[in-house]
Amino acid sequence: MKDTIQKLMPTKSWADPTTHYKVALKSEWYKTLAIIQDEINHSTWNFFRDQGIRTVSLPITTGSITSPMGLGSDSLPVKVELEGVETYLSDSMQFHLEYMLRYLPEGVHYIMPSFRGELADERHLCQFYHSESEIVGGLYDVIQLVNRYIYRLCEDLLKHTPAHIKKMAGTTEHLEQIISKNRHIPEISFEEAVKQLNNDSDYIVHHPEGFRTITPEGEKNLIKQYGGMVWLTHHDYLSVPFYQTKDKTGKYALNADLLFGIGEVVGAGERHKTGNQVRESMRLHELNEKEYEWYVYMKDYFPMQTAGFGMGLERLLMWIAQQDDIRDFQIIPRFNGVTITP
């Protein structure tokens, strides 16, 4: 007789932060989550070492956020005061990675926390872990790097934690399916996706500033059509942050989002090479160049064609566990405006 596995379900104890730890300390859900997180960390570090990409340690505070208020930004920065000085908690350390790449051109990577100013909901956390990398190269170089990374993660998770994944998801078929693709993940351009989704307003939003974005429902539709995972590339240029560069037409960005599970799990893109390209992008995105003087200086005097990606690890975990609420994936939750212990 085939053994049946009792599938774990989230405790939802985060709904009451004052008592969450009392529930979580006894919870098999969180114990299993911790073990899978450990395997993701080890798999990640081993993968990037095998790729010849160096892991770096960076500060979590910054004076130049990667998603400032303006066109192309869909997140709020977190401002804090340290010893009387206003600063920001990093929403991404991509700029730091670009800086470090000038020392380590073989490529750089980290796993570190990121902070966002929005309230948490089913899709968003106030604090989450980012696996980010920056390399010398272009958009398709970084897409291939991510494809290899996703394959390696699935391979290692299936090798070392299959029973734990089955406890959470009830199956490992979704990881096995990615392994079967042999490091190939389908791609569709944003323009092609608009046509494929019939420009339906449930899926595609037309903004008065002249650019389009895809809704979560649109992302889910594409994920289903492409068998669970797909790259959505070349978004309208003004819909992405200012640091992404343009394609030859000037209409589209050289960027890509990897959609699976909840929707966008990985965001990738090619960066501007020169300071003048950054200046022009800032003008189009209605940003003040003075706030990024150091970044423009680096591009002026140390030009380098780079590309990079960022993956939200809690969103990856949601897909692994086949769940639909990201708040179930913080062992020690953090919500903006709420004091939580431990």
To the nearest whole percent, how much of the chain has pLDDT over 70? Answer: 97
Alpha carbon of residue 262 to chain centroid: 12
Q: Domain-by-domain residue ranges, the chain?
A: 13-329
Whole-number pLDDT of residue 69? 63
Task: Give CATH for domain 13-329.
Answer: 3.30.930.10
Q: Residue 2 pLDDT > 60, yes or no?
A: no
In Å, what is the CA distance from 216 to each residue of 202, 203, 204, 222? 9, 7, 10, 10
d(CA 222, CA 231): 9
In Å, what is the CA distance from 90 to each residue of 20, 121, 130, 131, 318? 26, 20, 11, 14, 23
For 282-293, what is each residue's pLDDT tens digit? Answer: 999 989 998 899
Are 17 and 330 contacting, i.e. CB atoms less than 8 angstroms apart? no
Among 69, 113, 67, 62, residue whose Cα is nearest residue 89 = 62
The overall average pLDDT reported for the chain is 95
Higher pLDDT, 66 or 167: 167
Beta pairing partners, 258 = 231, 266
To the nearest whole percent, how much of the chain has pLDDT over 90? Answer: 92
**Angle, in degrees to the nearest 10, between helices 28-50 and 139-160:** 130
d(CA 299, CA 296): 5
Are 158 and 166 contacting, i.e. CB atoms less than 8 angstroms apart? no
Q: Which helix (H) or strand (E) holds 32?
A: helix 28-50
For 208-255, what is each residue's pLDDT tens digit? Answer: 999 999 999 999 999 999 999 999 999 999 999 999 999 999 999 999
Q: Residue 1 pLDDT > 60, yes or no?
A: no
Per-residue pLDDT band for 104 (boundaries 50, 70, 90) equals very high
For 149-202, what is each residue's pLDDT tens digit? Answer: 999 999 999 999 999 999 999 999 999 999 998 889 999 999 999 999 999 999
Are 122 and 327 contacting, i.e. CB atoms less than 8 angstroms apart? yes
* Amino acid present at 179: I
Whole-number pLDDT of residue 4? 55
Collapse the DSSP code of 72 into the 3-class scheme (helix H, G, I; strand E, B; otherwise coil) and give the result: coil
Whole-number pLDDT of residue 208? 94
In Å, what is the CA distance from 334 to each residue of 93, 145, 341? 20, 31, 9
Q: Residue 103 pLDDT > 80, yes or no?
A: yes
Q: Residue 276 pLDDT > 90, yes or no?
A: yes
Whole-number pLDDT of residue 65? 84
Beta pairing partners, 264 = 259
